[in-house]
A and B are shown apart, each in its own frame.
Chain A
Amino acid sequence: MAIPRFWREIASRYNLIGTKCGSCGKVDFPPRAVCPDCGRKSIGKMQRVKLTGKGTVVTYTVIHDAPAQFELQKPYVMAIIEMEEGVRLTSQVIDTKPEDVKIGMKVQAAFRKLGQEGEAGVIHYGYKFRPAG
């Protein structure tokens, strides 16, 4: 993949930048140009917001059959996390044993390496989640 593909998502992957609808106040992540609830009313009113990074595990899985670039990490935990702001996202849960992850568990975003494009390619970074202190 070309470098710009990772570079242009940096704001959201590094700093959890989403959007808040100026019409209904709903938060989306990643940023959206149109609010799924308000439609046309929201166009031009989507303000950038930074998520707090605090959330709760809604569901999770332990991945054993992994894509090539995640081969060294398996088994690893993927979860859908509901953020304090109400929006949900998909991420890894780290710094804990897979068997200790539970639905309802409180987690906190952390900045981590996500992957690498081959031996000499670009390294890309973003959020993973760890148990909240």
Chain B
Amino acid sequence: MRGVAVIGVGETEFGELWDRSFRDLGIEAGLKAIQDAKLRSEDIDAVYIGNMSAGKFIDQEHVSALVADYSGLADMHLPTVRVEGGGACGAIALLQARLAIASGMYDIVVVGGAEKMTDVGEVQAAEILSSTADQEWESVFGATFAGLYAMMARRHMYEYGTTREHLASVAVKNHKNGALNPDAQFQKEITIDAVLQSPWVAEPLGLFDCAPLSDGAAAVVLCAAEKAHKFTDTPILFRGSGQASDFLALHDRRDLTTMDATVVAGKRAFDEAKLTPKDVQVAEVHDNFTISEILAIEDLRFVEKGKGGPATLDGVTALNGKISVNTSGGLKARGQPVGATGVAQAVEIVHQLRGEAGKRQVVGARRGLTHTLGGTGATAIVHIFERGD
């Protein structure tokens, strides 16, 4: 299998972007990534798009061809692919593009991720997010997406003594990081008290335990590693990727406080990379709810099982802590345009490994990881990146 490198990255600002359409966002991110890689459009072999639910959010399917078209690539008749996998779709698009290059079929692929979520109302948007859970055996009974994560949180509290303060410390840390990210939806620090006093969404999760609804897009340019030096002095290499699935419904899983899909995806990625969690300095993990980050850092073995809450409160995962987690602000503060998530996580890791993350730079970051979830953990995907110069 050929090595694959990231040679360009770009993203839009994230937020409630009333004046921007899905296509505006996808194109801005794509063009920034292409410009960053100093590509000519004739260098591109294919376009992959991660998008969860344009059909429901903006009533538009076939968004792969749409984005290529409005990026000025229609005349090139490029193959375009749209990938769906709940919240993991951007990360899966990255893996599929990596495989396409590794196989030798393509040399250069642009991977985008985009979601436009605010063209529908908040209640409808929450229902669309719930559609990545089991509609027939969870949602129809009244289980919301937040409610399912809340039940994981409740069980984690019961088994490990995790507290609401522990959960809140995830949101506080990610807002602190988001305040240093000019593209983040929330660039404002919050306190533990503010999280604890936010209105209930699904007990024990309050509003500030939940990532927001967002518009936004991100893109990366992938290139065969052997050709990457033609475009950049600091290619960022894929060292390992792992993807895993699990029972669709939360109630069918082996353990409500461990995401087996994350455990397996992480193991596969670390095995391929021949690395361990200690070898990684910076990670972007899927914090769609505060409990999700606690589960992720445990299941990826950054901290001991059950200790994710105290570790976060103690600053283990803070910027330039033992392992810097969600330096971008994560889904919580950077924002959560679903399809963009996996790609935006990779964009942040590339900025960190290139040493261009500004005020939120992790000192000496050489290897980074992304972790992305679909649904309530029926899909998980992990990529490990390393500076390739």
**Interface, chain A (partner B; CB < 8 A):** 9, 30, 36, 58-68, 70, 73, 75-76, 78-81, 88-92, 98, 103, 114-115, 124, 126, 128
Whether A78 contacts B151 by the Cβ 8 Å rule is yes
> Which partner residue on chain B sits nearest A13 by CB separation?
B140
Nearest 6 pairs between A and B by C-beta?
A61-B150, A59-B155, A88-B251, A64-B200, A62-B203, A59-B151
Which residues of B have CB within 8 Å of A76?
142
Whether B202 contacts A90 by the Cβ 8 Å rule is no
Which residues of B have CB within 8 Å of A78?
141-143, 147, 151, 202
Which residues of B have CB within 8 Å of A79?
151
A59–B159 CA distance with the chains assembled, in angstroms: 11
Q: Is the contact region of chain A dominated by helix, strand, or loop, or is it mixed?
A: strand
B201 adjacent to chain A (CB < 8 Å) = yes
Whether A66 contacts B144 by the Cβ 8 Å rule is yes
Whether A90 contacts B256 by the Cβ 8 Å rule is no
- Given A90-B251, A114-B141, A58–B199 Cβ distance below 8 Å? no
- Other A-B pairs beyond A36-B247, A61-B204, A128-B141, 19, CB < 8 Å: A30-B136, A61-B203, A63-B144, A63-B202, A65-B146, A65-B200, A67-B139, A80-B251, A80-B256, A88-B251, A89-B251, A90-B138, A90-B141, A90-B249, A90-B250, A90-B251, A92-B142, A98-B203, A103-B154
B130 adjacent to chain A (CB < 8 Å) = yes
Whether A58 contacts B256 by the Cβ 8 Å rule is yes
> Which partner residue on chain B sits nearest A115 by CB separation?
B140
Whether A80 contacts B144 by the Cβ 8 Å rule is no
> Which partner residue on chain B sits nearest A127 by CB separation?
B141
B151-191: CB near A (< 8 Å → 1, else 0) gives 11011001000000000000000000000000000000000
A114–B141 CA distance with the chains assembled, in angstroms: 6
Which residues of B have CB within 8 Å of A70?
142
- The contact of A80 among B146, B202, B250, by CB within 8 Å, is B250
> Which partner residue on chain B sits nearest A124 by CB separation?
B140
Which residues of B have CB within 8 Å of A36?
247, 252
A75–B144 CA distance with the chains assembled, in angstroms: 12
B44-69: CB near A (< 8 Å → 1, else 0) gives 00000000000000000000000000
Question: What number of A-B contacts does a CB cutoff of 8 Å give?
Answer: 98
Whether A68 contacts B123 by the Cβ 8 Å rule is yes
- The contact of A114 among B140, B151, B199, by CB within 8 Å, is B140
Which residues of A have CB within 8 Å of B205?
61
CB B270 to nearest CB in A, in angstroms, measures: 26
Q: Is the contact region of chain B dominated by helix, strand, or loop, or is it mixed?
A: helix
B127 adjacent to chain A (CB < 8 Å) = yes
**Interface, chain B (partner A; CB < 8 A):** 123-124, 126-127, 130, 136-144, 146-148, 150-152, 154-155, 158, 199-205, 247, 249-252, 256
A121–B384 CA distance with the chains assembled, in angstroms: 50
A71–B140 CA distance with the chains assembled, in angstroms: 14
Whether B142 contacts A60 by the Cβ 8 Å rule is no
> Which partner residue on chain A sits nearest B201 by CB separation?
A65
Whether B152 contacts A59 by the Cβ 8 Å rule is yes
> Which partner residue on chain A sits nearest B141 by CB separation?
A91
A128–B142 CA distance with the chains assembled, in angstroms: 10
> Which partner residue on chain A sits nearest B158 by CB separation?
A103
A126–B139 CA distance with the chains assembled, in angstroms: 13
A42–B44 CA distance with the chains assembled, in angstroms: 48
Whether A126 contacts B141 by the Cβ 8 Å rule is yes
CB A93 to nearest CB in B, in angstroms, measures: 11
- Given A59-B256, A66-B142, A80–B158 Cβ distance below 8 Å? no
- The contact of B143 among A30, A90, A128, by CB within 8 Å, is A90
Which residues of B have CB within 8 Å of A30?
136-137
CB A91 to nearest CB in B, in angstroms, measures: 5
A78–B147 CA distance with the chains assembled, in angstroms: 8
> Which partner residue on chain B sits nearest A8 by CB separation?
B136
> Which partner residue on chain B sits nearest A126 by CB separation?
B141
Which residues of A have CB within 8 Å of B147?
61, 63, 78
CB A71 to nearest CB in B, in angstroms, measures: 8
- The contact of A65 among B137, B144, B151, B256, by CB within 8 Å, is B144
Which residues of B have CB within 8 Å of A61?
147, 150-151, 154, 202-205
Which residues of A have CB within 8 Å of B137?
30, 89-90
CB A116 to nearest CB in B, in angstroms, measures: 12
A114–B139 CA distance with the chains assembled, in angstroms: 11
> Which partner residue on chain A sits nearest B247 by CB separation?
A36
Which residues of A have CB within 8 Å of B139?
67
- Given A64-B201, A67-B126, A59–B144 Cβ distance below 8 Å? no
A90–B142 CA distance with the chains assembled, in angstroms: 9
